[in-house]
Amino acid sequence: MKLLIEKRPFSWETEYDVYDEKGGFAYRITTERRDKTSAIFITSQYGGEVGKIVKTKRLFKTTYEIFLGDNYMGKVKKETMYGGVTRYVLDYARWRVFGTILNWEYDIVDDKYIVAHAGDDNMEFDGKYVINADYSNNETPILLVALAMEAATADHKGN
C-alpha cells in the first residue's frame, strides 16, 4: 500500500490527513507541542489511536520515541556531533534508513530487504509525498517511523 501525504514538509503546528493510493482516507495526524516534550498522534480511519511519537529534548540530543498503540517500539535519535554535524539514528526492529534524509527521500531497510521507500513520486502521484509500504504487510509501523523521521528533519530545518 502507498500512503500519500498532501502537506509537506511536516509541521508541528498543523494537523493533516494521510490517504491510500486510491485516494481514500487512511489516517489523521495531529500534534501537541510543549516546551520539553511534544507528541504526534496517528488516528485510523475508524477513529482509534493506532500510534504516537513522543519527542523529548535533552542537551545536544532529541529523541522521537515510537509507540504502536501503547507499546514502545523504538526511537529516532537526532544527535548533534562535534563540529555541529547532525546525525539521525533509527532504533526500531533492526530497521535502518538510507538516503537523503534532509531532502525527505530515503529507504527503510530491514537487514537486506527494503521495507519502505519515502519521498516524492512525481510519476504516479504528482505533488504528493509518498510512503511506499508495498514491501510490507503492515503500513502502520512504517508510517510511524516515517513521521518520526519527518519530525526530526523538520526540526533540523527549523519548520
Specify the number of domains making up the chain. Answer: 1
Cell numbers given for 25: 482516507
pTM: 0.85
The full length of the chain comes to: 159
CATH code: domain of residue 133: 2.40.160.200
In tens, the pLDDT along 90-108 reads 899 889 888 776 667 888 8
In tens, the pLDDT along 5-63 reads 876 556 777 788 999 989 899 999 998 887 778 899 999 999 999 999 999 887 767 88
Per-position DSSP letters for 87-156, written without gaps between them = EEEEEETTEEEEEEGGGTEEEEEETTEEEEEEEE-TTTSTT-EEEE-TTSS-HHHHHHHHHHHHHHHHHH
Q: Are 93 and 109 in contact (CB under 8 A)?
A: no
Q: Supply the range of the domain harboring residue 58.
A: 2-157
